[in-house]
Chain A
Amino acid sequence: DIQMTQSPSSLSASVGDRVTITCRASQSISSYLNWYQQTPGKAPKLLIYTASSLQSAVPPRFSGSGSGTDFTLTISSLQPEDFATYYCQQSSSAPWTFGQGTKVEIK
């Protein structure tokens, strides 16, 4: 199985800050990396697919980059609605696996 490791596990930031979350795969997954946002009590929401493609209706302050084993999710200017937990997920080979999550909290 491909292991996905996110860092940090949590972070505190202020509205307007630039935030970067990293995700590392245990082996190369090309660009088969997706990012999700989850708020408490809600289902995850797809933000980014294939490492850098923005899902429809997702604000452009979200961006993704990377290939191979190292990936990043960047929020260019954090908004109040962005305080949530973010997960990466590889779709290179089954079983599909997720990172452990990064919780973005208000400073």
Chain B
Amino acid sequence: QVQLVQSGAEVKKPGSSVKVSCKASGGTFNSYDFNWVRQAPGKGLEWMGGIIPIFGTTNYAQKFQGRVTITADESTSTAYMELSSLRSEDTAVYYCARLLRQLGGSFDIWGQGTLVSVSS
């Protein structure tokens, strides 16, 4: 059974960067499509981008192009999401999630979430 475990909460200053990790256990890491979805306080879900480690291909939402970088380390079965030029509006819980093509491209497994707070 695949599980996704994310790194802990972060507090950042405006203008800085944050890098959140998502470690997968169980399953075949390289074949999965790992995505990042964020949720601002009291708001809905927003897809940021994803990576397929076996191909090394990434796909980003236009809104975050140039500010987000998603990578994967096969040796540790860990995916990363780095967001730069942070502003207060980036305060949110960031989730990693597996997109499974066999289930119609749905996000079937989620990490527990990482709270990123941006404040001066």
Chain A residues engaging chain B, CB cutoff 8 angstroms: 1, 31-32, 34, 36, 43-46, 49-50, 53, 55, 87, 89, 91, 94-101
* B103 CB contacts on chain A under 8 angstroms: 46, 49-50, 53, 55
Count of interface residues, chain B, beta-carbon cutoff 8 Å? 21
A43-B112, A98-B46 are known; give 6 further A-B pairs, CB within 8 A. A36-B107, A43-B95, A49-B104, A55-B108, A95-B61, A98-B44
Chain B residues engaging chain A, CB cutoff 8 angstroms: 35, 44-47, 59, 61-62, 95, 97, 99, 103-108, 110-113
Output the nearest chain A residue to B105 by Cβ-Cβ distance.
A91
The answer to whether A32 and B105 touch across the interface, beta carbons within 8 angstroms, is yes
Q: A87-B45, A95-B47 are in contact. Are A34 and B113 (CB under 8 A)?
A: no
Closest chain A CB from B108 CB (angstroms): 5
* A99 CB contacts on chain B under 8 angstroms: 44
* A96 CB contacts on chain B under 8 angstroms: 35, 47, 99, 105
The CB with the most chain A CB atoms within 10 A, among B46, B103, B107, B113, is that of: B107
The CB with the most chain B CB atoms within 10 A, among A45, A98, A100, is that of: A98
The answer to whether B45 and A89 touch across the interface, beta carbons within 8 angstroms, is yes
